[in-house]
Amino acid sequence: MNSGISVMICDSTLRDGSHACGHQISGVQISRYADACEAAGVDYLEVGHGNGLGASSLQVGESLVPESQMLSLARERLRETKLSVHVIPGFATINREIVNAIQVGVDLFRIGCHCTEADTTQKHIGFVRGEGRSAWGVLMMSHMASGDVLLEESKKMQSYGAQGIVLMDSAGSYLTDDVRKKVGLLVSNLEVPVGFHAHNNLGLSVANSLAALEVGARILDGTSKGFGAGAGNAPLELLAAAMSKLNVNTRLKLYQVLDAAELASELFAGKLPHDDSVTIVSGLCGVFSGFAKPVKRIAEQYHLDPRDILAELGRRKAVGGQEDLILEVATVLRKS
């Protein structure tokens, strides 16, 4: 890796971490962590429900704090660090959630979709750009598509006005060679920066993030202590340390990043993710990391092995937002 490259860092602790605590992040936790994030020199802090704007519901989990309040609390603490949100068309509407987020002062809208459905993001990206805000395209569950398909979908997002493209390893299923091939292909063929969002189901989140840097990624996601869905995300404190050793240029201040991680240990004690047999099988089967907790709960109710449920969800190619499939699969497995 060439030293001296510059990388943008997006901290999704207060968004992806919402999965890890049943979407029960409090206002106090938001304010205190936002202060730490600002001090650490993070470029973007992503805030909200685990599935993004408008996703709070009985089906996928209700947020403890209303969306507008979450965003306002973070906005008033941030100065140099910009405020980011995750947007999935279908959960978030333009006229309600996006307009409200613009009014609150959100800087960056990361507009995501399943990795083969970029068409669904066109209106949302176009609207955000038309309002003078930044928009990135996010391809979720990207392990489920070939590099050529990901490139085609990325080019669509770029044509809609996306100013960056992020590949999400939503299931923590990538190996480092997968990262190099897919991220490298996008870097070589797109005009906008490419990023990578890692999950740690197979213990490769930091290695995969560094592999993305090697082939030209200039956006990396991470969370303090890996606070996120399933086995968690790439721990930001470890990424920061590795990038410091590699002389990668970021706005990060290493000691303050480490301080933010210690604060996360305090704020989210008992909720920080770890690997177990369920998260490992989830990664092997390519199942959305956010399914780990509901799969465990339903497996216990139905007296099933949660790994069997994950294997069937993998065969069905289940994706985020299809939480109802977990119960359906459990019912079928119990009958058989």
* pLDDT by position in tens, the chain (length 336): 656 789 999 999 999 999 999 999 999 999 999 999 999 999 999 999 999 999 999 888 999 999 999 999 999 999 999 999 999 999 999 999 999 999 999 999 999 999 999 999 999 999 999 999 999 999 999 999 999 999 999 999 999 999 999 999 999 999 999 999 999 999 999 999 999 999 999 999 999 999 999 999 999 999 999 999 999 999 999 999 999 999 999 999 999 999 999 999 999 999 999 999 999 999 999 999 888 889 999 999 999 999 999 999 999 998 877 888 999 999 999 988
Q: What CATH superfamily is the domain 8-267?
A: Aldolase class I (3.20.20.70)
Q: Per DSSP, which regions of 30-126 are E strands? A: 44-47, 82-87, 108-114
CA distance 312 to 141: 17
Burial of residue 242 (number of CB atoms within 10 Å: 0-12, 13-18, 19+): middle
| Residue located via tokens 């613009």 | 102
CA distance 211 to 281: 23
State the pTM of this model. Answer: 0.95
The predicted pLDDT at position 1 comes to 62
Please state the domain extents for the chain: 8-267, 277-335
Does 1.10.287.70 match the CATH number of domain 277-335?
A: no
Percent of residues in the chain assigned helix, strand, coil, to nearest 5: 50, 15, 35
Residue 121 is classified by DSSP as G
Catalytic residue among 19, 23, 86, 197: 19
How many of the other CB atoms lie within 10 Å of CB of 84?
26
Q: Which residues contact 89 (CB under 8 A, 6 or more apart)?
A: 111, 113, 120, 121, 123, 124
Please indicate whether residue 274 is annotated as part of the active site: no
Beta-ladder partners of 166? 138, 195
The predicted pLDDT at position 319 comes to 84
CA distance 279 to 258: 26
